[in-house]
């Protein structure tokens, strides 16, 4: 079985917060089919226009979120552009709907703000991001953990734990036996 992953991209997202999880997920395979990818990875944005990440690299999205498919896993990176993304009501609505249908929802750093603003994290425990607990007191914030798992929500406070986040996602959907290919 192949799991579909929606990788949200928006102007100003931090490429490092997407790159490490992407790398691990792109190389994961099932033990019974080591030549087949365990995940199909798809970038999702507001429009089909180029998206510029923090630092200037540009990406052409695979899907646009108003019409995006249902994903088994949703990954939301942070980055300086998250503040502007918070003001896009259609994005907040889509994150809410897509998360409701996903088996796993993951966020990196300030991407956690996008989940909180989408009304998804009430009563959930998440990785610490500066100011999150003050802005969203209904969210439980945990300090000093690489990956925080709370139900189907997986969060990390910074991109340095991106590979650990992806490994937690792989274990959640496939168990402890995946194979990684080069």
Rounded Cα gap, residues 30 and 173, in angstroms: 11
Q: Is the dihedral of CA 147, 101, 72, 115 positive or negative?
A: negative
Instruction: Give me the mean pLDDT over the 147-173 stretch.
Output: 93
Tens of pLDDT, residues 29-63: 877 777 788 999 999 999 999 999 999 999 999 99
Count structural domains, the chain. Answer: 1
Confidence of residue 66 (pLDDT cuts 50, 70, 90): confident
Rounded Cα gap, residues 24 and 71, in angstroms: 18
High-pLDDT (> 70) share of the chain, %: 96
**pTM flag (> 0.75):** yes
CATH number at residue 169: 3.40.50.880
- Give pLDDT, residue 143: 92
**CB contact at 8 A, 48 and 119:** no
Rounded Cα gap, residues 9 and 114, in angstroms: 12
Domain of 149 in residue numbering reads as: 3-180
């Amino acid at each position: 079985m192949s799991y579909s992953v929606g990788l949200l991209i928006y102007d100003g997202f931090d490429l490092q917060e997407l790159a490490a999880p992407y790398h691990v997920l792109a190389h994961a395979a099932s033990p019974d089919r080591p030549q087949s990818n365990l995940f199909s990875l798809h970038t999702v944005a507001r429009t089909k226009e180029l998206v510029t990440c923090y630092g200037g690299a540009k990406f052409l999205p695979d899907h646009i979120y108003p019409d995006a498919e249902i994903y088994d896993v949703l990954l939301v990176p942070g980055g300086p552009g998250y503040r502007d993304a918070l003001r896009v009501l259609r994005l907040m609505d889509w994150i809410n709907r897509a998360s409701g249908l996903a088996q796993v929802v993951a966020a990196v750093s300030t991407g956690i703000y996008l989940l909180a603003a989408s009304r998804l994290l009430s009563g959930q425990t998440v990785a610490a991001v500066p100011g999150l607990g003050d802005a969203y007191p209904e969210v439980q914030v945990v300090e000093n953990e690489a990956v925080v798992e709370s139900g189907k929500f997986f969060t990390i406070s910074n991109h340095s734990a991106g590979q650990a986040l992806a490994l937690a996602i792989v274990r959640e959907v496939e168990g402890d036996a995946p194979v990684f290919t080069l």
